[in-house]
Amino acid sequence: MKVSYNIMWTEKYRPRSLNDLRGHQDIIIRLKGFVEKGNLPHLLFAGPPGTGKTTAVLALAHDLFGPDTYHHNILELNASDDRGIDIVRTQIKEFARTAPYNAPFKIICLDEADNLTSAAQHALRRTMEKYVRTSRFALICNYSSKIIEPIQSRCAIFRFKPLSDEEIREYLIYISEKENLVYDKEGIETILYIAEGDLRKAINILQSTAASGHSIEALTVRKTIGQADPEQIKNMVLLALNGKFQQARSQLHELMLEYGLSGTDVTYQIYKEIPKLDIPEVSKLEITQYLAEVDFRISEGASSNIQIGAFLAKLSRIKYE
């Protein structure tokens, strides 16, 4: 199995045109309308990570400017690195005030804009107004509520949602066949379970597993990223609920040693498995409440082993009560 290591597959297989994007058909139709008219407003793309926000902006720019003038008319900045007022007053302002190259305007793509400081956002508001004849801003964020209202009111807002399992599955199989990977259905489904609608995460897991020299199977995927088998997590909880505390704790230690899981990894996987348990709804409510307390204590610095052990002990008490 030959795997290309020299480039991240998220970049290698990034769509270059709006016609190649997966999902979000309502958003793509609106963006294509801007391309047809040759004009667009300031844009605000909001949604979870790995759902295609940055790709949509780059594909829009490709379709608007063409391959020859694309790189001259777009500025990409990541606000998580440059998020102070100085970057707005210098680099962004200098690019915005210069004339576009063989195009009606330029695009300034500001990724992770919700990390911009309040002062930087207020400075950006004036820049967006002043240089609208030469530049359009495309702000990308996970939480639109962190963008100040004056900026939101100047933008056309596009809200992205997590991609469906079917859309991610189709793309993973497409990449696997292009890279001549050996895969099975369980391996792909395991990636979908872990990715939770994040296509970038799914592709990175696929590449990491392939780069380790293994075929794409459920066990190899979990070993590569260090995640336990959901059935083992579910079985551990059921052992505790049946009053078998010592067996449940032994399985917890085995999972943490075998997969190298942290306390938050375990609590999150337990949280995902609670709805699947065949127990009364009121018990699910109690378990979730217990788990929330444990997760908070772990995040505050408490011992993972002791806290999750105490969680399993509480579940065992449910049996006797």
- What was the pLDDT predicted at 44? 94
C-alpha radius of gyration, the chain, whole number: 24
Q: Return d(Cα 281, Cα 313) in angstroms, integer.
A: 20
Q: Are 237 and 196 within one domain?
A: no
Q: Are 149 and 242 within one domain?
A: no
For residue 159, give the H/E element and its range.
strand 155-159
Range of the domain at 71: 24-159
Q: What is the CATH number of the domain that holds 143?
A: 3.40.50.300
Residue 280 lies in a domain: yes
Q: What is the mean pLDDT of the chain?
A: 87
Residue 12 lies in a domain: no
Beta-carbon neighbour count of residue 12 at 10 Å?
14
Q: What global pTM score does this model have?
A: 0.83
Residue 103 lies in a domain: yes
- What was the pLDDT predicted at 121? 87
Six-digit token string for 280? 């009364």
Which positions ≥6 away from 35 have C-beta within 8 Å?
Answer: 18, 60, 63, 64
Tell me the average pLDDT across 242-262. Answer: 85
Q: Are 172 and 211 within one domain?
A: yes
Check whether 321 has a pLDDT greater than 70: no
Residue 17 lies in a domain: no
Could you tell me the pLDDT band of residue 173, with boundaries at 50, 70 and 90?
A: very high
Could you tell me the pLDDT band of residue 1, with boundaries at 50, 70 and 90?
A: very low
Q: Are 94 and 187 within one domain?
A: no
> Tens of pLDDT along 16-37?
889 888 788 899 999 999 999 9
Q: Are 236 and 218 within one domain?
A: no
Q: What is the CATH number of the domain that holds 185?
A: 1.10.8.60
Q: Return d(Cα 275, Cα 320) in angstroms, integer.
A: 22
Q: Are 93 and 134 within one domain?
A: yes
Tell me the average pLDDT across 72-83. Answer: 75
> Tens of pLDDT along 254-288?
888 777 788 888 899 999 999 988 888 888 888 99
Number of domains in the chain: 3
Residue 16 lies in a domain: no
Give, in order, the Cα–Cα distances in Å from 296 to each of 270, 307, 316.
Answer: 14, 10, 21
